[in-house]
Chains A and B, each alone.
Chain A
Amino acid sequence: GVTQSPTHLIKTRGQQVTLRCSSQSGHNTVSWYQQALGQGPQFIFQYYREEENGRGNFPPRFSGLQFPNDSSELNVNALELDDSALYLCASSPSGGSTDTQYFGPGTRLTVL
């Protein structure tokens, strides 16, 4: 399945953070979502074969990387209080709109 690390993270405003995800074997697409408390997940971006394939309404301080070994990262610079949320990664076989996306358990980020 899809795994994410760390489970929980506490940072202060202005710091930088890196979240990690390991996709399901054989999946070449990873998507990242932000889930604020009491809200549904919001699409951040998608990576397909190591290139950004689409982006939601998030500023450039949100960036990502996808590696050939089924792992990926979400980086957030200059953290703000509103970045506190559950961050979910999801992998899928091809990233198409009919694909089932398989979600990890998430990383809970708290910004103080």
Chain B
Amino acid sequence: AQSVTQLDSQVPVFEEAPVELRCNYSSSVSVYLFWYVQYPNQGLQLLLKYLSGSTLVKSINGFEAEFNKSQTSFHLRKPSVHISDTAEYFCAVTRGSTLGRLYFGRGTQLTVWP
């Protein structure tokens, strides 16, 4: 079975500070890894994903995540956050099979203060 653990339910930070949102997964098979973001009253939007190749993946708005197979982690980082980054962030995995079933973590609420 797959499970995704997001260790922090809430992360408050000040504007322009760095942030790391942690994600660990457990799986006996190969997985693909995703970070989705959910702004208030909106659906989930893909932030970035790791399928294969370089273990460091980046989004267009400055976030990056590194796949670490030995530690089964896919932590999300940003060197300098903005107030507009305030949202709920979900880590998710799919199995390396044909069905695109997403297994989500419980989410981390990132709140950026001025």
Contacts and interface: CB of A to CB of B under 8 A. Distances in A.
Given A40-B90, A40-B106, A41-B90, A97 B44 contact: no
A31 interface: yes
25 contacts: A31-B100, A31-B101, A33-B104, A39-B106, A40-B92, A41-B90, A42-B104, A46-B99, A46-B101, A53-B99, A54-B101, A56-B101, A88-B43, A95-B98, A96-B100, A97-B32, A97-B94, A97-B95, A97-B96, A97-B98, A100-B46, A100-B49, A102-B46, A103-B43, A103-B44
Most buried by B among A42, A92, A103: A103
B102 interface: yes
A99 B43 contact: no
Contacts, number: 74
Interface of B: 4, 6, 32, 36, 41-46, 49, 51, 90, 92, 94-107
B97 A103 contact: no
Nearest to B109: A38
A100 B32 CA distance: 11
A53 B99 CA distance: 8
A104 interface: yes
Given A96-B98, A97-B94, 12 more contacts: A31-B102, A38-B107, A40-B6, A40-B104, A46-B101, A97-B32, A97-B98, A97-B99, A97-B101, A101-B46, A103-B43, A105-B41
Nearest to B97: A97
A108 to B, nearest CB: 9
Contacts of A53: 99
Interface of A: 2, 29, 31, 33, 38-43, 46, 53-54, 56, 88, 90, 92, 95-106
Contacts of B95: 97
A104 B100 contact: no
B43 A106 contact: yes
Nearest to B96: A97
